[in-house]
Amino acid sequence: MKMIIEAHLVDDVGQTERIELATISCELTTDPLGMSLAEGKALLSHVQQYLVKLQCQSIASAHAHCDQCNARLTMKGWHTRQIRTVFGTITVRSPRVRHCRCMEKAPGASFSPLARVVPTSVTPELEYLQAKWAAHLSYATATRLLSETLPIADAISVSGAKRRVRAVATALEQTFAHPEKQETELQQPSWLPPITALAVDSGWLKHCDPPHHQGRHVNLVVGRTCFEGGETRLYGYVHNQVPSAANRLDLFLSACGVSQTERVTIFTDGAAEFEKAVKGSLRPMCRILDWFHIAMKFRAIEQTALKDPGLQAPNGRSMRDELASCKWLVWHGKARKAVARLMRMHDAFGLVPEERFRTLSWNLRQTFWYLRTNDRYLVNYARRRNKKLPISSAIAESAVNEVVGWRMAKKRQMRWSDEGAHLLAQVRVCELNGELRPRAFAFPQRQPRPANDPKWDGYLMLTAAA
């Protein structure tokens, strides 16, 4: 059996041209069902070839006259241009047209109409697909995936994917680089309900240049907002790649629909990299120390104390009961009493010269210093829990795994620069939030003149002949 696939091209005046796109031959009894992947890719490639060339002719003819004075523009010459699309690389001939005298350009100055519409020679859809899959997979894996499913093996590469991800991320960064632009663009989304809490944590990546940065790591701050109803939204950045962490936080909250006077509850683990962002913010903030990290501090003491079941606290109670009592005090908002008890235990065991008490003394010191340093961020966690309010930054821990761990760190042995990690994080966060879209054309396209216009019939014929 033979199947011939044809296309009928109908222009504006009704003239029809028939083009054969593909011929598929198969045996009904022996061959697999349907078209093979190679045949489907070849068909899409042929369709794209004809369509892109016709569109390029239309773009060229639309720039035959000046928009201001309607004077006919003169042709300077032709050059070959390759356009990378979702269905392959298309080679077209593009004209260069001289500027009109009314534009006050230098004599002989010219421009390429096609370069105005597609300045990077890459269609927005291809750029979007590369950025989308590179946000989930490594650059090499994303390139192989797209090459096997689409006829674009000659249109993409690993280095090209990296460049396009950086270009998309740079465009996303422009909204944060111009706060005055965000005031008009980042209006409250209608689909976002009121915010309930914001949790922030940080992840660490290996630096790509260890000889010059011994022991250096990339610190990536990641946050997640929770809204009423269960909706969430992510944001992230490398702390030394943003001019102002506080401004970054304010703009993100504005994009989430939070007004300037609305009080925001933030959960952190007490790390210093986010301290400046909270203090420099212009919004009223309610910062709460994460209960998860407090519980982990007590867990470390309990595991050390369990090695000696008969160990007693200075007041005569067993260490297990005394630690449970201290944890209960912190849980109910009485952290000062808990700190005093922990200090007494530390002083008692710190004087014992035995080796087995050194770890216990160290964990006690770390815990009471952690609670004392962040005492202004401690609240009554039991009361918040009874009101069904968040008490932990577990949502931030999962955000770090989602943004940093699964793509950049875990089981991948990757090394990153500060800029590279920051830009990829912007694309990944935008994709996880469901906001990544193909970019619009850089230059608005003009509508072509009617084909029966005698002023430029010759220009049309020259374009079609090329």
Confidence of residue 357 (pLDDT cuts 50, 70, 90): confident
pLDDT at 214: 57
Q: What is the pLDDT of residues 421-430, one digit of tens each?
A: 999 999 999 9
- Please give the Cα distance from 278 to 247 (Å, whole number): 10
- Please give the Cα distance from 171 to 449 (Å, whole number): 33
Could you tell me which residue, 440 or 69, shows the higher pLDDT? 69
Q: What is the pLDDT of residues 396-422, one digit of tens each?
A: 888 888 888 888 876 667 888 889 999
Q: Of the given ranges (8-12, 145-149, 164-168, 342-346), which has the lowest mean pLDDT?
A: 8-12
Half-sphere exposure of 450 (CA within 13 A, CB side): 5
Q: What is the mean pLDDT of residues 63-91?
A: 85
Indicate whether 465 pLDDT > 50. Answer: no
Q: What is the pLDDT of residues 250-296, one digit of tens each?
A: 888 888 888 888 888 888 877 666 777 777 787 888 888 889 889 99
Q: What is the mean pLDDT of residues 328-346?
A: 91
Indicate whether 217 pLDDT > 90. Answer: no
Confidence of residue 446 (pLDDT cuts 50, 70, 90): low
Confidence of residue 383 (pLDDT cuts 50, 70, 90): very high
Q: Are 122 and 107 in contact (CB under 8 A)?
A: no
Q: What is the pLDDT of residues 148-200, one digit of tens each?
A: 999 988 888 899 899 999 989 988 888 766 545 444 433 445 456 778 888 88
Q: Cβ of 213: how many Cβ atoms within 10 Å? A: 13
Which pTM value belongs to this model?
A: 0.78
Confidence of residue 442 (pLDDT cuts 50, 70, 90): low
- Please give the Cα distance from 350 to 465 (Å, whole number): 91
- The helix or strand, by DSSP H or E, that contains position 400, with its residue range, turns out to be helix 394-400
Q: What is the pLDDT of residues 225-250, one digit of tens each?
A: 888 877 888 989 998 888 888 888 88
Give residue for tokens 């909706």.
231
pLDDT at 325: 92
